[in-house]
Each structure stands twice: as C-alpha cells, then as structure tokens.
Amino acid sequence: MNNIALGRYLPLNSLVNRMDPRAKIMIMLFLMIAIFIPAGIWGYVLIGLFILIALKLSKLSLSFALRSIKPMIFMMAFLLLINIFVIKTGTPWIQWGWFSVYSDAIYQTLYIVVRLMMMIIITTILTATTKPLDLTLGIEKLLHPFEKIGLPAHIIAMMISIALRFIPTLIEETQRIMNAQASRGVDLENGSMKEKVMAILALIVPLFVSAFDRADQLANAMEARGYDPQKPRTRYKVLKMTGIDYAGMLLSFLILVSCIYINVRGIS
C-alpha cells in the first residue's frame, strides 16, 4: 500500500493540507484548463513551477508524485508506438528499410505525455492533501448553486469521493490477485495470444467480483447507519476560506490567463 500514490491521503502537517478543499479543487480546475491550452513551452514552465511549489508546500516528495504515473507507463509506451506508425510528418530521425521514425511522432507523444503527467501529479497532490470527507464537502459546496436547477450536488460529490477513495484499494487488490494467479502458474507476460487473453480474464473476473463485494459492503454499512442522500443534512465542520486559499486561487488563475495570452499572441 505504501507504493500507491494516486488517491492516497497523507495526514501531513503542511500548508496545503490545511487549505480549504474548495480552494484546492478550484486551483486544480484552473490548472487543468491551462494544461489543455496550447501555450508552448512557456506555459508548461509556468504550470511546472507551480506544481513544484505545491509539492514543496505540501511536504510531498517528487518521487511520491512520480509513483502515481507508474500505472500509466504502459499506456504512454503504447501511445508512442501508435504515433510512430501513424504520424509520418517532420524530419525523419530513424530509417531502416520500410520502418521510419519522424520527429513529429516523438514531439506529439512528448506533448501528450507531459500533459498527462501534469494532470496526474495535480490530482495526486489534491488527494494526498485532502481527506475524502473534506473533498466530498468541498465538491458539494461548489455544486450547491446548481441544486436550484435540480442537480443532486451531494450525490455527485459522494460518488466522486468514493471513486477517488477506492483507487488505491483496487490497485492493491489487482496486485494481490496477480501475485495469487502467478503462484498458481498463470503467466501474464508470455504465451500465445489466446493464453494471454485467458490470463487477463483470470485477473479481471476476480477483480470485478472483489469490487462488487466491496461496493455491497459499503452500501450495507451506509444503510445500517441510516444514510439517506435525499434527506437534508447538517455539518459538524464548517468550511472557511483564508488568505492562503484566495492567494492560491489567484495565482492559478493568473497562470491560466498567462497561458491564454501566450496562445493568443503566439509566443513560443
């Protein structure tokens, strides 16, 4: 469990841990939007500096944040392979018979990988510094104005919080099932295509059974405690913004505006 970063809360006494969850969610949204704006290298430099400062203030190590990217390495490698065979523009870097690798394929892959890494690290900082219940309350408070048009803010916030909470649990369960299947002689790496498909099924089926079992246990526990999402609720903890929260939101919003400006002016 210690090797799992994404979705795992760390009770550290840091400045970011003490921030209002609404402010951290808004900061994440501003940065996510900024990441998708094609602002060139300067835009990524601004966002990268903000992420490094956030890691420092939250007392999280860079290695902890990078561990959250580990499950995505296979997808990144697969993306690189697809781009190499699909994108045939730019300068040819490698030519070997019919096989060739062009510069645009590498640049496009790096462009997507950098954006994906930033998004994962930002999400990791949010979940590592915010308790699941505080995250639920923050999302609910931000969505509260939309209840006037019939949006079930509390239910949506609860679903998002539960999904984030069970990410490390499911990853740990997957690793446990893989170890159990390997001890029974199941080979997930070698063999024919049919054998690999059967090996994957041997992993997916018990994982789904375990996930549904955990969901059933959670539903029974909430029902036993009289939880009803439709009833009006009171809160013991009242959220309150501070100067640090407003400063963080302002800085992230300025980064978003800067990325938009760089994109409009075509600064490279």
What is the predicted pLDDT for the residue at 267?
A: 65
Backbone Cα Rg of the chain: 22
What is the predicted pLDDT for the residue at 20?
A: 92
The token duo for 96 is 């070997």
Single out the residue of 201, 121, 211, 136 nearest to residue 172, CA to CA.
211
d(CA 231, CA 162): 19
Contact partners, residue 265, CB within 8 Å, separation at least 6? none
- Per-residue pLDDT of 133-159, as tens digits, reads 788 888 888 888 887 887 787 788 778
Centroid of chain to Cα 215: 21
Band (pLDDT 50/70/90 cuts) for residue 12 is confident
Single out the residue of 7, 211, 31 nearest to residue 128, CA to CA.
7
What is the predicted pLDDT for the residue at 33?
A: 94
Single out the residue of 128, 121, 120, 125 nearest to residue 165, CA to CA.
128
Q: Which of 2-6, 30-34, 39-43 has the lowest mean pLDDT?
A: 2-6
Overall average pLDDT of the 107-117 stretch: 85
What is the predicted pLDDT for the residue at 207?
A: 82
What is the predicted pLDDT for the residue at 222?
A: 82
Q: Are 58 and 128 in contact (CB under 8 A)?
A: yes
Q: Which of 14-18, 111-115, 233-237 has the lowest mean pLDDT?
A: 233-237
Q: Is the pLDDT of residue 196 over 50?
A: yes
What is the predicted pLDDT for the residue at 249?
A: 95
Band (pLDDT 50/70/90 cuts) for residue 206 is confident
What is the predicted pLDDT for the residue at 5?
A: 57
Longest CA–CA span in the chain (Å) reads 70
Return the higher-pLDDT residue of 7 and 145: 145
Q: What is the phi/psi pair of residue 27, to 5°?
A: -60, -45
What is the predicted pLDDT for the residue at 219?
A: 84
Band (pLDDT 50/70/90 cuts) for residue 1 is very low
The token duo for 71 is 């499950």
**What percent of the chain clears pLDDT 90, i.e. is strictly above it?**
21
CA angle 242, 239, 28 (to 5 degrees): 70
What is the predicted pLDDT for the residue at 32?
A: 93
On average, the pLDDT of the chain sits at: 82
Overall average pLDDT of the 112-138 stretch: 87
- Per-residue pLDDT of 48-87, as tens digits, reads 999 999 999 999 888 888 887 777 777 778 788 887 777 7
Overall average pLDDT of the 112-136 stretch: 87
- Per-residue pLDDT of 165-186, as tens digits, reads 777 777 778 878 878 777 777 6
What is the predicted pLDDT for the residue at 191?
A: 62
